[in-house]
Structure 1
Amino acid sequence: MAITPDVDAATALKNKGNKAFAQHDWAGAVDLYTQAIEKNDRDPSFFCNRAQANIKLESYGYAVADATHAIDLDPNYIKAYWRRAVANTAILNSREALRDFKTVVKKEPNNKDAKLKLAECEKLVRRVEFFKAIEVGDPPSAFEGLDIESMEVDASYDGVKLENEMTQEFINDMITRFKNGKKLPKKYVFQIVQAVRNIVYDEPTMVEMEIEPATTLTVCGDTHGQYFDLLEIFRLNGFPDEKHAYLFNGDFVDRGSWSTEIALLLYAYKWLRPKMFFLNRGNHETDDMNRVYGFEGECKAKYNERVFKVFSESFSALPLATLVGKKYLTLHGGLFSDDNTGLDDIRKLDRHVQRQPGQQGLMMEMLWTDPQPQNGRGPSKRGVGLQFGPDVTKRFCEKNGLEAVIRSHEVRMEGYEVEHDGKCVTVFSAPKYCDATENKGAYINIGPDLKLQYHKFDAVPHPDIKPMAYAQSSIMSMM
């Protein structure tokens, strides 16, 4: 028997959801729109509004599903087509997005903004198809033919010189240069990226490290080009040194507009202290994401296209996981579609054969998956990868002798969250993410006793450059 909609109660909940959305409480808005839908599942605006909140949460798979439901209820609902197109663009389903932008223009032929977005989406589709067409199985190194030794440093450069080894003096000067909006000479950029590419290439796919007596390891999550917030971590927690190791768990770049600065600073520390500074690859250290979310554009704007290409090669050489003290598997995304997958499978994974993660397989899952509160596995809220429940995490930890899995990949309002009965920890280190989400940042300190100590911090002011300033198109700025 059909349930009679409670229109008034549902509308009141929708209005509360709109207020939560206006306050940038995206998760609260999703919850309120969901409650509204439970009381009246016949109003397409409830689904369309929830789609927009899910876009803000980067739950693009859920956003596509909600927008589709809204369209099923009202095939003429322009805003739903628009939001489905935006969500599909975010997960690089540009052909699906193109169909929806075409529908918007067909239904509203005088909508100038829709025509602009359609043109941008067509350009994006052509670009994606171009890169697919020129893909080769084993491309030559981006460093081939790059004569770094013969490059000149511009006479206007007034900073510390970089010779054949990284120095703390150079790093200190670089930190200040970047704060003041200055760049490094291209020669130094190529030197740093090449040195680190060679270091990380020789590291195992899963680095295994111990925390020595009187030493601390700090684990940081996504920093996403928020350079001034990265410096705040170092100010509060101490800079890397011989007794203070750091592990950055992926997504150093994209979205924020100081991605080159973050990548170069992290790389400089990796070069200086290769055994005390660790870098895991994230899903944004990949070509497809970099081309859309800003890192490629930033490299071209601040340096040149060759700089992006050498960074790309270095990203594909990064380890995919770090095992801390044999107790904490740290990786960017999460766990796997198969319970039989274990630490040995990660150890055996040859990441140098497949440089980009693709849409399936072990590497993709390590970079893209997310936890869910219910047991079992479910479809990805992002539209890429999958979700795994507490029972999956429990079995994995028991089978591999682990205390917990530490991962990043998702905003957490308090900067971190402990889930799955303490066996799944998310840490996210980009506070006030993209200047739009009122979240804190966090980092985790781990001493020789292997106890996890959580620290939260707030965003700090930064120069007036907006997030996504170097992104592929204005479609991305709508997210």
Structure 2
Amino acid sequence: MASAVEQATAYKNDGNKAFAAHNWLGAIDLYSKAIDLNDKEPTYFTNRAQAHIKSEAYGYAIADATKAIELNPKFVKAYFRRAVAYAAILKPKDAVKDFKKCVELDPNNKDAKLRLAECQKIIRQLNFYAAIEVGDEPSAAEGLDVDSIAIEPDYDGVQLKDQMTQEFIDDMIERFKTGKKIHKKYVYQIVIAVKKIVYDESTMVEIKIPEDIKFTVCGDTHGQYFDLMELFRLNGRPSEKHWYLFNGDFVDRGSWSTEIALLLYAYKWLRPNGMFLNRGNHETDDMNKVYGFEGECKAKYNERVFKLFSESFSALPLATLIGDKYLVLHGGLFSDDNVTLDDIRKVDRHTQRQPGQSGLMMEMLWTDPQKAPGRGPSKRGVGMQFGPDVTKRFCEKNGLDAIIRSHEVRMDGYEEEHDGRCITVFSAPKYCDQTENRGAYINISPSYKLDFHQFDAVPHPPIRPMAYVNNSLMSSM
């Protein structure tokens, strides 16, 4: 019979195989079994840390790397992985300390030196932004005379006048499929028009589903334009009789983020009462600067386009209440049991704009469910986690059947947790070309019955995820 140490090694080897197959959660489970049998082996913790990084559980990765360092204070890989996790949750100063330790322990480590330099550059940029930040910066639309921008004679797309048209959207969809852009004048028109529309919406949009309407809720799309096209092929494009709600994280990571944002915005302009958009944690400045959307806007259009998008993102609603039965929000629930729907209605998103490190807006964009009751520290290192009892109390207090949220990969595209009262939907299959997950969307009938649908990723042009990230630190994650 194999000893505990031998069995632990076997679990670790199986974990490595699962990791190689991009089954991050399976790898985490196997590394955990190895640790249960032998918790004195630091490589088990660093291996699990790497799987946590791949599944975006950066808080757990930091904890595992820290444990490995306790077991072996000279373990370069542990410092390296902890540094990568710190960088991912936008804590570059902590990452710098660990990358410096890597270089101190291994002076020839070129990767650590490169990432150390990248982190130091990010810190300089953040200090620069902080130094020039002014209280009420004028809008990027100020001084922009859109009407005077000429469309070149060789522009081969459908023209856009003062109102969005279905013809323009249909043409835009095909242009984007073939790698073409729309004219920057039209980009300005779309983003400025939609900012005004969403600014005037409530922080929590409240809707009823009419008898003759098909209603679809989608989770994160993360710039995976061709997978969104597949979703529309299977389920139908937005129309007068088919309403959609996109629950945040339209952008970042995937390399067609401007295409998705412009398409969803165009539909919002065309049918403001049939296309609904919630803000996600990636519709925020700090994430966009690091995870690719800012770089993509600048590469495909210009810096002003990014600034206009940034203003529009901060105007997006934070939640949607469907038929008084389902609260749809990007992240999850709250650190305080006393929070009600009225408290959400009262959040002043126009004054706060960015979610910050605490408060209702941050929690709505960042929190995650956990299996254990009560509340726990976030596996991400940002926000917190809430258990089934928290969900039950919130739903009962507010007369809800369930909350619907996104924010996390689910291997089946969706998951019903907390006795069916916490539903996660994620609409980016084969996320970042690395995770072998399916995508999903939810159709909700006029009688408020939920109908779950799954779909698979489709081929896309050979542009890798994170292609527009302007530092190697993030693009290699």
Give the TM-score range, shorter chain: over 0.9
Match of 1:432 in 2: 430
| Residues 1:57 and 2:79 aligned together | no
Alpha-carbon separation, structure 1, partners of 2:39 and 2:145: 63
SS state at 1:425 partner: strand
| Residues 1:400 and 2:393 aligned together | no
How far residue 425 of structure 1 moved from its aligned partner, in angstroms, is 0.2
SS state at 2:244 partner: strand
Alpha-carbon separation, structure 1, partners of 2:273 and 2:447: 20
Alpha-carbon separation, structure 2, partners of 1:242 and 1:343: 29
Q: Deviations over 1:114-147 (max 9, x none)?
A: 2211111111111122112222222221211111
SS state at 1:88 partner: helix
Match of 2:18 in 1: 20
Q: Deviations over 1:426-472 (max 9, x none)?
A: 00000000000000000000010100000000000000000000113
Quick one: percent identity of the two aligned structures?
Answer: 73
Question: Which residues in structure 2 correspond to 1:316-327 (within 5 Å)?
Answer: 316-327=314-325
How far residue 112 of structure 1 moved from its aligned partner, in angstroms, is 2.1
TM-score after normalising by structure 1:
0.98
Match of 2:295 in 1: 297
Match of 1:452 in 2: 450
The one-letter amino acid paired with 1:408 is: S
| Residues 1:380 and 2:382 aligned together | no
Select which of 125, 129, 133 maps to 1:127: 125
How far residue 153 of structure 1 moved from its aligned partner, in angstroms, is 1.5
SS state at 2:147 partner: coil
Match of 1:98 in 2: 96
Q: Which stretch shows the higher mean deviation, 12-21 or 163-172?
A: 12-21
Question: Which residues in structure 2 correspond to 1:184-333 (within 5 Å)?
Answer: 184-333=182-331
The CA RMSD measured in Å over matched residues stands at 0.8
How far residue 154 of structure 1 moved from its aligned partner, in angstroms, is 2.4
Alpha-carbon separation, structure 1, partners of 2:284 and 2:368: 18
| Residues 1:337 and 2:335 aligned together | yes
Match of 1:472 in 2: 470
The one-letter amino acid paired with 1:461 is: P
How far residue 351 of structure 1 moved from its aligned partner, in angstroms, is 0.3
| Residues 1:365 and 2:363 aligned together | yes
Match of 1:29 in 2: 27
Match of 2:75 in 1: 77
Asked if the contact 1:154/1:185 (under 8 Å) is kept, the reply is: no
Q: Deviations over 1:251-306 (max 9, x none)?
A: 00000000000000000000000000000000000000000000000000000000
How many residue pairs get matched? 475
Alpha-carbon separation, structure 1, partners of 2:49 and 2:81: 7
Alpha-carbon separation, structure 2, partners of 1:397 and 1:216: 25
Asked if the contact 1:86/1:478 (under 8 Å) is kept, the reply is: no
Match of 2:115 in 1: 117
The one-letter amino acid paired with 1:429 is: S
SS state at 1:242 partner: coil
Alpha-carbon separation, structure 2, partners of 1:65 and 1:189: 43
Alpha-carbon separation, structure 1, partners of 2:391 and 2:369: 9
Match of 2:139 in 1: 141
How far residue 75 of structure 1 moved from its aligned partner, in angstroms, is 1.0
Match of 2:387 in 1: 389
Asked if the contact 1:253/1:285 (under 8 Å) is kept, the reply is: yes
How far residue 341 of structure 1 moved from its aligned partner, in angstroms, is 0.3
Alpha-carbon separation, structure 2, partners of 1:417 and 1:111: 41
How far residue 113 of structure 1 moved from its aligned partner, in angstroms, is 2.2
Runs of at least 4 residues of structure 1 off by over 4 A?
none
Alpha-carbon separation, structure 1, partners of 2:146 and 2:81: 46
Alpha-carbon separation, structure 1, partners of 2:432 and 2:446: 35
Match of 2:167 in 1: 169
How far residue 8 of structure 1 moved from its aligned partner, in angstroms, is 1.0
Alpha-carbon separation, structure 1, partners of 2:150 and 2:283: 29
How far residue 476 of structure 1 moved from its aligned partner, in angstroms, is 1.1
The one-letter amino acid paired with 2:250 is: F
Q: Deviations over 1:303-350 (max 9, x none)?
A: 000000000000000000000011000000000000000100000111
SS state at 2:63 partner: helix
SS state at 1:246 partner: strand
The one-letter amino acid paired with 2:126 is: V
The one-letter amino acid paired with 2:348 is: D
TM-score after normalising by structure 2:
0.99
